Structure 1
Amino acid sequence: MAAVAAMAGGRRRGAVGLSIDGAEEAPEERVGRLIRENPVVIFSRRGCCMSHVMKRLLAAVGAHPAAIELEEADEEAAAAAAGGAGLPTLFVGGAAVGGLEGLMSLHLRGRLVPMLLEAGAVR
């Protein structure tokens, strides 16, 4: 499968097929579905240190994102969904936040937690 799902908190599960009932999805459809189905999702490359920092910051405020490690074939679809931004990229409530800089900017301006609350990612 072209993508690997990772559990929040840095622990990985084995490779998980990201298709429904064995039906193959196009990368664009798969990325769109993951964005719609998860209040907070990070798309990154395997072993990305910036995505690790993003997951730690989100966990510190009580959110546990779906962390999706992409293979090269799916990177372009995630970048397109984020408006051309590179990886890692974060989506909160379906809205593209950007990478680590976008996340830090929201946090430092005091807008991260309200955004997470609105998306239903924290209580």
Structure 2
Amino acid sequence: MDAIRRLTSDKGVVIFSKTSCCMCYTVKVLFNELGVNPMVHELDQNPEGRDIEKALMKLGCSTAVPAVYIGGTFIGSTNEVMSLHLGGYLVPLLIPYQIIV
């Protein structure tokens, strides 16, 4: 759990993902389309990936990936992110982290 805190505390948008997960891909594309360049941790390519995945589950993630953090706060997985987006609440959370072009 310390690893998760370390990886998310001083970053804007963090996504814990797996390269083979289609829902992870969907969430990453959504954030990119909203002008955010998230820090992505691909657990299947990280030697600590299994431990991080177990810790995410202990923290209450219904599915280990994708797990999305914004400003160090756990937001949720695909369902929570999409619900926030459809309700109009996701973009305001992302404003401080959007890339200005």
Answer yes or no: same fold by TM over 0.5.
yes
Using the TM superposition, give the Cα deviation of residue 79 of structure 1 relative to its aligned residue in structure 2, in angstroms: 2.7
Structure of larger gyration radius:
1
Q: Is contact 1:43-1:78 (8 Å) kept?
A: no
> If the length of structure 1 is used for normalisation, what is the TM-score?
0.68
Q: Is contact 2:84-2:90 (8 Å) kept?
A: yes
Structure having the higher helix fraction is: 2
Q: What is the percentage of aligned positions where both structures have the same residue?
A: 35
Partner of residue 50, structure 2? 72
Mapped partners of 1:78, 1:37: distance in 2: 18
SS in 2 for 1:37: coil
Using the TM superposition, give the Cα deviation of residue 78 of structure 1 relative to its aligned residue in structure 2, in angstroms: 2.4
1:14-69 CA distance string (max 9 Å, x none): xxxxxxxxxxxxxx222101111211011123321111110100111101111112
**Which letter maps to 2:54?**
E
SS in 1 for 2:88: coil
- Tell me which stretches of 4 or more aligned residues in structure 1 moved more than 6 Å: none
Mapped partners of 2:10, 2:30: distance in 1: 21
Mapped partners of 1:80, 1:115: distance in 2: 25
Partner of residue 46, structure 1? 19
| Count of aligned positions | 93
Calculate the aligned-residue CA RMSD, in Å.
1.5
In structure 2, which of residues 68, 84, 101 is the aligned counterpart of residue 106 of structure 1? 84
Q: Is contact 2:13-2:69 (8 Å) kept?
A: yes
Q: Is contact 1:45-1:69 (8 Å) kept?
A: yes
The answer for unaligned runs of 5 or more in structure 1 is 1-27
